[in-house]
Amino acid sequence: MFEPRQIELHGHEVIYRIAGSGPPVVLVHGMVNSSRHWEEVAVRLAGDYMVIAPDLIGHGDSATPRGDYSLGAHAAVIRDLLAAIGVERSTVVGHSLGGGVAMQFFWQFPQHTERLALVSSGGLGQEVSPLLRTAALPGASALLWLIAHPRLVSALWELGDRLRRRGSGTGVYVQAVARALRPLERAGAREAFLHTLRAVIDVRGQRVSALDRLYLLDGFPTLIVWGERDHTIPLAHGRAAHAAVPGSRFETLPGAAHFPHLEDPDGLATVLRDFLETTEPVRIEDGDWGGRVGGRDLAKVHSG
């Protein structure tokens, strides 16, 4: 279950994982994460849903070409992957950077999106951790090579393990950082990370914002979930987005920081399952989108 599969798209290898059967749910990971990080959530949903988790281009085991690492490019690859495996519409769930990709997927391909869930999502405000702002600076490639050195990554993993054995929730966070750094040992992955990072973050913070488009989610099934201990992207971003999207749901996970799918997979899976079971999938036709974007009457949406 949840073993990697591969497909070639536009001449590049894309890795993805699938578990279960039923209505499709797409899980989009965050920066320097991969589909592997969704496993504990995926197995909890797989009894009733077909869970699909891609490795974004430049991440995990997918190709690391020199090319476009914008949110729109990532969303287009996911669209093409789903089309290639025969999935026409799905619920899209995105964590951190993946939340920005998930929203971009909805803006670009609303006819292929049935629900949207944002987990500690980027793109909802300027503030972001100093570490990510620093990584966007010129010359960060050399610094990244030092940070991702195998000895340092192993030391972080062991520190996280010791903290977990002592019962500290920080241990999960430290190991999540170590797990994220491990792929950056490869030069191609480091370059892809920097291209992705600089597409959305600069020294002043997040440079891509969805705030001017949140009105498009009015009436669309939208869930916003945040770890209450998140120091990477402020919890206040989630609260403000919830207030801006009428009818959206907002949930917090007290035991989680920025990686709810790793720190509290059971809690996150429970929230996602409740959202899936108590909302109807929505279908937006191509002809409806113009009315929504143009500010006329809300687009007609069709259940089922």
> CA 235, CA 239: separation in Å to the nearest integer?
7
Strand partners of residue 13 = 8
Angle between helices 187-200 and 97-108 in degrees, nearest 10: 60
- CA angle at residue 84 from 79 to 87, to 5 degrees? 65
What would the two tokens of residue 124 be?
Answer: 């909802």
Please list, in sequence order, all residues whose beta carbon lies within 8 angstroms of the beta carbon of residue 7, skipping any fewer than 6 positions away: 13, 14, 16, 81, 84, 85
Cα–Cα distances in angstroms (integers) from residue 16 to residues 2, 5, 19, 60, 176, in the given order = 9, 5, 10, 10, 20
Q: Alpha-carbon distance 28 to 90, whole Å?
A: 12
Rounded CA separation 259/206 (Å)? 18
Q: Which residues pair with 6 in a beta bridge?
A: 15
Residues with catalytic annotation?
96, 230, 258
Q: Are strands 282-283 and 302-303 parallel, antiparallel or unpaired?
A: antiparallel
Residue 297 DSSP class: S
